[in-house]
Structure 1
Amino acid sequence: MDTQTAGGPSSLGARIQHRRQALGLSTTEVAGRTGLTTDRIEHIETRPFALTGAELVRLAHALDVSVDDLTSAKPPAAPHQPPLAPVLQPMRRNECLVLIESGSVGRIAYAGADEVVVIPVNYACRDGLIVFRTAADSAVAQYDLAPIAFELDHFDEGMQDGWSVLVNGTVRPATDEETAAVHHLVTPWAGGTREAHMVIEPNRITGRRIRSW
């Protein structure tokens, strides 16, 4: 399934370890998400191994990547069984940041004139800040250090699980430097003239996921 050196880790094991560490997860936490033992996870990351298709699918799912992201040789997926006891798990801040940085579309929520407004936005991250574009005459463009919430999520109806990340903070106009740094990275799907760059400065970042195994 993957090339390996005698007595040493395989390239697949190294990729699994790198992704786990990027999410700030311990081997014990990954074991809990996959139903494998901690010893098995450590063996996969550090020594030669042979993975079953079911193990590879569970590892990819636990690390929020596709099987193709872990290996170019796609094994047969294990048949999905309905969850017996779904578990709601909090996510660490570092894990939330990785998911935010790898995304491009989220939702913002703020207090409008008469009601709470929730709209999707294209965004980019820069130095821990979330930057999005809007019309200069929009309500949120008039905000300066006003409270705002940003939400990002992913759900798999087939697997009956997913995750969501919530950022609470304030919003302000981007500086010229911030605008220049992300302008080419943020292209609003809605089109039109949306040249006002706004920055969300996080005060609190939380996340949670529901697991079907």
Structure 2
Amino acid sequence: MNDPIIRDLTPEECWTELRHNQLGRLAVAVAGEVDIFPVNYVAHDRALYFRTAPGTKLLELTVNQRVAFEIDTWTYDQARSVVVKGIAERLEHQSDIDAADRLPLLPWIPTLKYRWVRIAPTFVRGLFFDRAAEPERY
């Protein structure tokens, strides 16, 4: 049996994965506590955008704008994982909000979410894995 292959994705492969997915996990750390939120998002011009409503997520982003964001995709024999670290900022200017409103992003649940957040990446890394059965242990 061949050893599984793990390799780094190129930056363009990372952005392809991010553009072809809609759901990720946002990690925010405030006051020594880490929260992880599932968010649907859209990748556009090498940034990530999502909408949110007032609540814990938005409050924590106002306290600490440094975030991590992660997606995973897989098939039977391959998997990819992409991690983005960056600065999350709520869109405040009407021209930015209008541009974001034109992006192809719809909420997954029927709620009104008027606050747009953009993650400006400072770090992007992706890994590709060949998936295979676990080797014999004994």
- Normalising by structure 1, we get a TM-score of 0.54
Name the residue aligned to 1:148: 67
Matched, 1:183 2:101: yes
Q: Which runs of 5+ in 2 are unaligned?
A: 133-138
Q: Which is further off, 161-170 or 99-108? A: 99-108
* One-letter amino acid matched to 1:183: D
Identity within the alignment, %:
26
Q: Structure 2 residue aligned with 1:119, among 37, 44, 54?
A: 37
**Structure 1 runs (4+) greater than 6 angstroms displaced:** none
* One-letter amino acid matched to 2:15: L
* One-letter amino acid matched to 2:74: F
Question: 1 or 2, which has the higher helix percentage?
Answer: 1
Name the residue aligned to 1:132: 50
Number of aligned residue pairs: give it.
Answer: 128
Instruction: Give me the whole-angstrom Cα distance separating, in 1, the residues matched to 2:29 and 2:109.
Output: 21
- Normalising by structure 2, we get a TM-score of 0.80
Instruction: Give me the whole-angstrom Cα distance separating, in 2, the residues matched to 1:170 and 1:203.
Output: 7
Q: Structure 2 residue aligned with 1:163, among 80, 93, 111?
A: 80
Aligned partner of residue 116 in structure 1, secondary structure: strand
Instruction: Give me the whole-angstrom Cα distance separating, in 2, the residues matched to 1:191 and 1:119.
Output: 18
* One-letter amino acid matched to 2:52: T
Instruction: Give me the whole-angstrom Cα distance separating, in 2, the residues matched to 1:84 and 1:197.
Output: 46
Q: Structure 2 residue aligned with 1:192, among 108, 111, 133?
A: 111
Q: Which is further off, 191-200 or 174-183? A: 174-183
Q: Which runs of 5+ in 1 are unaligned?
A: 1-82
C-alpha contact 1:88 1:210 (8 A) present in aligned 2 = yes
Aligned partner of residue 162 in structure 1, secondary structure: strand
Deviation at 1:112, TM superposition (A): 4.2
Ranked by relative contact order (alpha carbons within 8 Å, sequence separation 6 or more), the top structure is 2
- For residues 78-110 of structure 1, the C-alpha deviation after alignment (integer angstroms, 9 at most, x for no partner) is xxxxx6321111111121112112222211111
* One-letter amino acid matched to 2:71: L
